[in-house]
Structure 1
Amino acid sequence: MASISFTRNRILILGLALIFVVSIYIIMFRVIDQRLERLNRRILKEVSLEKSELVQKEFDDFDRIFHLMGLAADEGQQEFMNKLIEQDSVKQFLVAYSYWKSESGVYSKKLTWYNDKSVIDSIFIQTKLFEDITSATFIQGENGMYLRIHIKTNKGVLQLILDLYKFNTYIANQNIGMRAYFELYDDHGICIMHPDLTHIGKKRKEAIMSYPIRDSVILSDHLGLEVLLEEYKLNGIFSDSKFFVNVVLLMTADEVRDIGNTAFLLGALGIATMLLFIFLIDWQNRKAKQLTLRNLEYQKEDALLRFENLKRKVDPHFLFNALGSLQQLIGKDPLQAKTFVGKMAKVYRKFLSRDESGLATIKEEVVLAEEYFFMQKIRFVDTLIPLEINISPEAMTLHIPRFSLQILIENAIKHNELNKEKPLSISIIETQGQLVVRNTVLLKNPDIDSAGYGTQMIAHVYDFYQVQGFEIQHNETDFIVYLPFIHIDSQ
């Protein structure tokens, strides 16, 4: 009996022990399973957040390029805009743009560009700017589906047209959708980004819930699997849109453990990704600056070329007229002829001198203008009123474009009738940080514009030094040119 009792007690103890151990194992595995599930969910959320940030970084790059294009559009630099497109990834899905400048509250189209004019939808060819420029707008075109985006600039609005199919293809090719896929809807619920292109342009099947959606596990109609649905707020051009990240719930316990083993690698990868983006942004900024500097260099070379062309035109013309006047003067007044030769040598020496800056001090320009006018006065005598100059000594050290005063005096004499009854009057007056060159008007041919090649060259120099204020005005009695001072120490 004792033996049987011992056996029963032993079986009971063993059974209780087995039940206890099994219970402990069940509880332990349940706890582990719950922790793995929470860890799995947390990792999934981290993956979701990481994916949204990667997408946001892509969009940040687009924003930066589009805003650079807007700055270039304000300055009319369409060639620079097209270079930005050609050298960036946006060229893969940007199909058209137009720039609308605001003038007194009214927008007018100034710049237009199409990637392929032969297949461009007629819907993009518009004569006025749409009233709603606050958000992205879906467009169903003849040849596809598009998104209209407006970028507000300092002087107007840059309108961009994106091909949605090409846009989705570009995002898919970036390999940022591993274990996840993205959905993007405009403020009307129209799909503009989805891995299944048949969804593009259609409304979301389920009603879009109020922002934000968090920790929602749903059955994906795209994959037929359960996914973790998270909604994120995007910045930039898609700030008014609804952005969803769907992460598949297929990560096993082994994969969770693998994440722990590869945490260092993922961290290094994240840092490398961040550094890469920083490098790309810095590289793109430096590239944009290089393009700007190159453009300025081209302008400078063009300005110098215009100077040289002008000098080549002026030299023979000046010599021919000067020698003709000298020939007449030698017989009449040899002493005056001697003075004339000295003035002629100084003026011609100035023409032959080189200065790559394209600038001269006002004092140098005034001296050249007086000597040149002296020669013309000898030639045309009483048909010219003595030159009027009123400039302060302080202003004499400042700069204006080379030959500008001589060019304006020559233009005044060349384009106007010269007679004793109505002699030509020319004045050079300093006022409010600029020189005002004024001459009376009695045009030989009223149909010919007296502002020609020389004034264009002057304007080009002001453009190069980015100095505003150069202006030409004329009426029935006066021709007026405003020459702002150029402070080269601040350039």
Structure 2
Amino acid sequence: MKEDNKSARKFKRKNFLLFPVGVLLLMLVGGLILQVIFNRLTELNRKMLRDIANEKALAVQKEFDLLEQRLSWFLVQAEGQDRETIQSYLQKDTILHTFLTLAPLDSSLQSEDWKKNLKYRLPYVIRSKAGRLQVLIDLRKFNTYFWVGGSGHAYFEIVSPDNFFLMHPELSQVGKANPIHTALKRDWQDTIVLSNYLQLDALRRSVSLKGIFANAQLATSVPLLITADETQEILNLSMLLGVGFLVITITFLQIIYRNKQRVQQLEIEQSELSREQATMRFERLREQMNPHFLFNALGSLQQLIAKDQDHAKRFVGKMAKVYRKMLQDDRSGWSSLEEELALVQAYFFLQEVRFAKALMPINYVIPPAVLKRQIPRLSLQTLVENAIKHTVFTREQPLEIEIIVDDDQVLVKNRYRPRMTSESQTGGYGLEYIASMYRYVELEGFSYEVENGFFVLHLPLR
């Protein structure tokens, strides 16, 4: 039985440990798959952002190249002409005349702060008949020209060598200092920054310009977006994650279910074995108790017949009642307190015949409300018999026994005067039988001890 208990506990422990192990396994596998998805998403998104940034930078550079060609043609035509002719050439170009301005190289415009008037000097000088002219670009008009139609998925900024905006998707920022972006992550070429324009994280790439804005920086920014293709790939990976989790979960639940079935089977087998062993022990104890009781009862009857035949008849009736109860086939092993009290009263009558005035009547304190509660079968009779068998008592010091109910338990008490004979030191079957009944139903509280000069036994009510 101990081996079966150990096996059941072992399986329970394995079943208990299997759950956190399975959860950790699920978390590990899920974490690995999510990490793969995250790494793949980051790689694809970074590649996409680089491509968009490069495309935008190329488009801007191409636009500047076209403007450079127009400006070069205009400069060639304007060389050596008078002021009016140069203005007429500029008027003929429907694009350049919208944002280009001419001014004498030595005029006050040369020293004016372009950040206030937003007229930025380009690195070109026209030698006219009236003297040298400088080419200025009106940044307000230039920005308006470039930002008609929006910036698409990316936008760009042009930052002067002294770190001021020459072009910006927000016209109010032109001429203002380029703020320091909050850098989140860097690698060899790219910078992930917090865009002040979009208030989003964006990939920023910078290249140096030549021509119109010599030595200025073209900074292309692309918000961290995801394309439809990458979304589909993420969806596929997520489906793979879900299938993986489903397979692992089903396998894990099957293992738990099989282990639970095994534990339940072991518990059933253990319960059946415990029941069989308890039944066998009960039968063995009853076989051991019955001859002993019959021997003592017949000895008392023999003495009584010679003294009082009427009393002997009552003795036989009581003995028959007690013996019938002891031989009754009750597989449950439990009986009501009311039945056990009736049995112990009949049994005590037999002992009064045998010991006469050396036994005091039993003191009962039993509330009627508990009479239907149960205690192990034959337990009260066994304890009274033990008190008579193991206690020293005489006519001068008669045996007093109390049977009282206190706090959901029956107390059987007698004065502790142990009989020091070989007969009193043998047996112990009665207490073993009662203890086994309580162990079988897993009801705690059965105990016995010497307390204040009394031997006290505690029988929990069921």
Q: TM-score, normalised by structure 1?
A: 0.46
Q: TM-score, normalised by structure 2?
A: 0.49
* Higher RCO (CA < 8 A, seq sep 6+): 2
